[in-house]
A and B are shown apart, each in its own frame.
Chain A
Amino acid sequence: NAGVTQTPKFQVLKTGQSMTLQCAQDMNHEYMSWYRQDPGMGLRLIHYSVGAGITDQGEVPNGYNVSRSTTEDFPLRLLSAAPSQTSVYFCASTSDRRGNTEAFFGQGTRLTVV
């Protein structure tokens, strides 16, 4: 059981480039989220999804797009990378069945924009 798989683990982009961070889960969870982690700021919510075909913005959505065409996959797209998007990105998959809420995180993607 792989849980939440994120790729790539490391990426360096030039300012203005675009890329997609991949996230896949095999737990059949309905909820998925993207967070960014910056020093001293904890994890901040970028976008989230409550099911296939449904996405919404979190706290820091600007510069990012998401889609949820299947239950398993939730890719995060950087449209035109900026140095301010240098961060560690985490995808999470959450089940909220019968009040049992637990978020499972991927290993993270460390992104550097130069």
Chain B
Amino acid sequence: GENVEQHPSTLSVQEGDSAVIKCTYSDSASNYFPWYKQELGKGPQLIIDIRSNVGEKKDQRIAVTLNKTAKHFSLHITETQPEDSAVYFCAAIRSGTASKLTFGTGTRLQVTL
């Protein structure tokens, strides 16, 4: 089955700096890679995703990159703000298996003033 590794487990940045979270996956058949943000006491929420036919995707201050050859994908957050503080999860999935997301172990991002 799929295995997703995520690093770092904790990340502290100053407000305004950039944050990068990296994930690797094992199943070359995986073709959809979402990122979820989980705030304290809440369920994860999708913030951005990327499909295997795309190398990069941006949405305002967040971007995701994908290297299919190396089986790496990364989340980039620029101009971080205190409200970006949360736990971020990467995930990988193969088309047709929408109920079977495989998640990374999570990164706790702390944005300090």
Report the bound CA distance from A43 to B42 in whole Å. Answer: 13
Q: Quick check: A103 and B101 within 8 Å, CB to CB?
A: yes
A21 — which chain B residues lie within 8 A by C-beta?
none
The answer to whether B73 has its CB under 8 Å from any CB of chain A is no
Chain B, range 68-113, C-beta contacts under 8 Å to A: 89, 93, 95-96, 98-106
A41 — which chain B residues lie within 8 A by C-beta?
105
Q: Quick check: A40 and B105 within 8 Å, CB to CB?
A: yes
Taking residues whose C-beta sits less than 8 angstroms from the other chain, chain B's interface range is 20 to 34
Shortest distance from the beta carbon of B24 to any chain A beta carbon, whole Å: 14
Q: Quick check: A102 and B34 within 8 Å, CB to CB?
A: yes
The answer to whether A94 has its CB under 8 Å from any CB of chain B is yes
Chain A, range 81-114, C-beta contacts under 8 Å to B: 90, 92, 94-96, 99, 101-103, 105-108
Q: Quick check: B98 and A42 within 8 Å, CB to CB?
A: no
Report the bound CA distance from A32 to B101 in whole Å. Answer: 11
Q: Quick check: B100 and A106 within 8 Å, CB to CB?
A: no
B99 — which chain A residues lie within 8 A by C-beta?
31-33, 48-50, 92, 94
A58 — which chain B residues lie within 8 A by C-beta?
100
B100 — which chain A residues lie within 8 A by C-beta?
33, 45, 48, 58
A-B contact pairs, 12 of them (CB 8 A): A4-B43, A31-B98, A40-B105, A45-B101, A92-B101, A94-B98, A102-B34, A102-B49, A103-B34, A103-B36, A105-B45, A107-B41
Listed in ascending order, the chain A residues whose CB lies under 8 Å from chain B are 4, 31-33, 35, 40-45, 48-50, 58-59, 90, 92, 94-96, 99, 101-103, 105-108
